[in-house]
């Protein structure tokens, strides 16, 4: 199965007409993974036996013409809970965790008869921007195996970009869908906070986390978001906002759309080749009939310190549940209760997770709460107000997804500050709870460049419309990596 030449609609058509069986498609997907994942390392666990059983059942009952996702094999990030399929969050702490329930997004996908082929690699507990903090394996960029795939959803992005699967789910806390999508030359969307249920997502930072889709094109992404969106009473932060059909208005017409480009997103620190690609994208949007103006988001420069205080504080609270008693890793050589806690966590958590737990615990402590966490929460409000001011006059915000293309494996892993700054352009979107999309906008030295589109809350429709129009006017999404022998 050549996923570089298919999309969800064409696969669906083949399945409905019975020119392709679900079993054949699923087997072909596992063949893709077997051949390519030796070089890429995108998957942690495969679900082959159950996937083929489900495929055979779907072949018996047939594929409904009005269910576009029926029989489609998908990869799922390993912090999304999957019933009877080991879910580790790429941590030794959860190495043998076999969930007894499904996340809401999995219930929705299963109801649509999708096939889960396996769980994708990630940074441990989604803490990282390169997938190098995984406790189990190293994932590599689909375009250049000496480069990182980005993170924390690096496995999900690399699996799609390398043609192993047609779509995956990831999670985005500070850019963890959009940045790896940019590094791998695919489409990744972080929905509005509350659009998609977080029930069954292993929590990192509860006020920032969102599940979203990664695909090779904009329309497939919109189809995937249609499938997983909606109110969930089990998630108290889930919104009852109506979910439109994100595919319905993908007509390529964006005449009259007003787009803002923040000066802060095009300044110092953004590589010249990235700036050039974004300027070219701006020209494309103007040719399509959009108006593009320069604006300012003055408080965005504080996004990184604000994010790492808030996210680490929430992480230190969320990760208290991993205590070596109820579930997860438990140390053997213990003499008392304190030993159980200290040794289990010391052995179970990796360096980056420990770093963030310590930073968060410090920020929340009695002597520093006002100076750090409270102040960060106040500046977060200012960042939200900056976006609100721009969206009172504009439909979309445009800029680079990342200040550089993918960096080398091992290059930044021992420099936390540099690693954190890689997320400077994506973090403000999570702090403000807005939807953001990364899509391919060029290449530099053979590596993809990502463009980010940001919409107002619950206005993913406009973001998809603009992304689709840009995609139709360019050929960047048609480029494919050459590692697999493709020309």
Residue 147 is a catalytic residue: no
Q: How far apart are CA 487 and CA 485, in angstroms?
A: 6
Instruction: Give 75's strand partners.
Output: 118, 168
- Residue of 162, 176, 344, 402 with catalytic role: 176
Residue 152 is a catalytic residue: yes
Distances (CA, A) of 394 to 26, 142, 262, 290, 430: 44, 35, 12, 11, 19
Q: How far apart are CA 160 and CA 76, in angstroms?
A: 11
Match 């806690």 to its residue by tokens.
Answer: 341
Identify the CA nearest to 175 among candidates 42, 303, 323.
303
- Residue of 23, 54, 77, 300 with catalytic role: 77
Query: Is the separation of the CB atoms in 484 and 162 below 8 Å?
Result: yes
- Residue of 133, 134, 152, 239 with catalytic role: 152
H-state helical runs in 371-459 = 375-391, 416-421, 427-431
- Beta strands 258-262 and 396-400, pairing class: parallel
Query: Is the separation of the CB atoms in 460 and 246 below 8 Å?
Result: yes
Q: Crossing angle for the helix pair 303-318 and 375-391, nearest 10 degrees?
A: 120
Phi/psi-derived region of residue 62, left when phi > 0, alpha when psi is between -120 and 50, beta in every other case: left
Query: Is the separation of the CB atoms in 154 and 131 below 8 Å?
Result: yes
Match 């978001």 to its residue by tokens.
Answer: 225
C-beta neighbour count of 172 within 10 angstroms = 29
Give φ, ψ of 189 to 5 degrees: -125, 130
Residue 77 is a catalytic residue: yes
Instruction: Give 80's strand partners.
Output: 201
Q: How far apart are CA 420 and CA 442, in angstroms?
A: 24
The three-state secondary structure class of 65 is coil
- Annotated catalytic sites, by residue? 77, 152, 176
């Amino acid at each position: 199965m050549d996923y570089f030449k298919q999309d969800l609609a064409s696969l669906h058509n083949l399945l409905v007409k019975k020119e392709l069986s679900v079993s054949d498609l699923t087997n072909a997907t596992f063949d893709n993974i077997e051949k390519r994942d030796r070089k890429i390392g995108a998957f942690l666990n495969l679900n082959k036996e159950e996937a083929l059983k489900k495929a055979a059942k779907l072949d018996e009952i047939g594929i409904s013409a009005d269910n576009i996702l029926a029989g489609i094999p998908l990869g799922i990030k390993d912090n999304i809970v999957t019933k009877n399929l080991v879910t580790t969050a790429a941590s030794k702490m959860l190495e043998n965790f076999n969930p007894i329930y499904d996340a809401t997004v999995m219930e929705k996908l299963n109801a649509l008869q999708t096939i889960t082929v396996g769980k994708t690699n990630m940074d441990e507990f989604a803490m990282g921007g390169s997938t190098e903090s995984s406790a189990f394996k190293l994932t590599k960029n689909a375009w250049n195996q000496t480069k990182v795939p980005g993170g924390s959803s690096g496995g999900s992005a690399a699996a799609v970009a390398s043609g192993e699967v047609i779509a995956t789910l990831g999670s985005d806390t500070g850019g963890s869908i959009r940045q790896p999508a940019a590094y791998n030359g695919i489409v990744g969307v972080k929905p509005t906070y509350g659009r998609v249920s977080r029930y069954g997502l292993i929590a990192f930072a509860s006020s920032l986390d969102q599940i979203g889709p990664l695909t090779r094109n904009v329309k497939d992404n919109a189809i995937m978001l249609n499938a997983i969106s909606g109110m969930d009473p089990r998630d108290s932060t889930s919104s009852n906002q109506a979910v439109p059909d994100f595919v319905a208005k993908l007509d390529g017409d964006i005449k009259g759309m007003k787009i803002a480009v923040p000066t802060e997103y095009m300044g110092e620190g953004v590589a010249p080749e990235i700036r050039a690609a974004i300027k070219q994208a701006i020209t494309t949007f103007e040719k399509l009939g959009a108006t593009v103006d320069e604006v300012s988001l003055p408080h965005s420069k504080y996004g990184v310190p604000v994010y790492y205080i808030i996210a680490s504080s929430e992480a230190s609270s969320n990760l208290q549940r991993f205590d070596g008693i109820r579930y997860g890793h438990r140390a053997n050589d213990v003499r008392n209760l304190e030993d159980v806690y200290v040794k289990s966590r010391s052995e179970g958590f990796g360096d980056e997770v420990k770093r963030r737990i310590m930073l968060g615990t410090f920020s929340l402590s009695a002597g520093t709460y006002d100076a750090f966490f409270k102040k960060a929460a106040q500046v977060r409000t200012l960042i939200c107000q900056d976006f609100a001011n721009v969206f009172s006059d504009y439909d979309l915000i445009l800029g680079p997804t990342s200040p550089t293309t993918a960096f080398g494996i091992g290059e930044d892993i021992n420099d936390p500050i540099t690693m954190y700054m890689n997320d400077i352009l994506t973090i403000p979107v999570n702090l403000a709870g807005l939807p953001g999309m990364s899509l391919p906008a060029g290449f530099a030295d053979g590596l993809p460049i990502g463009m980010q589109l940001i919409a107002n809350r619950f206005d993913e429709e406009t973001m998809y419309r603009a992304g689709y129009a840009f995609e139709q006017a360019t050929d960047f999404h048609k480029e494919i990596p050459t590692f697999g022998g493709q020309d």
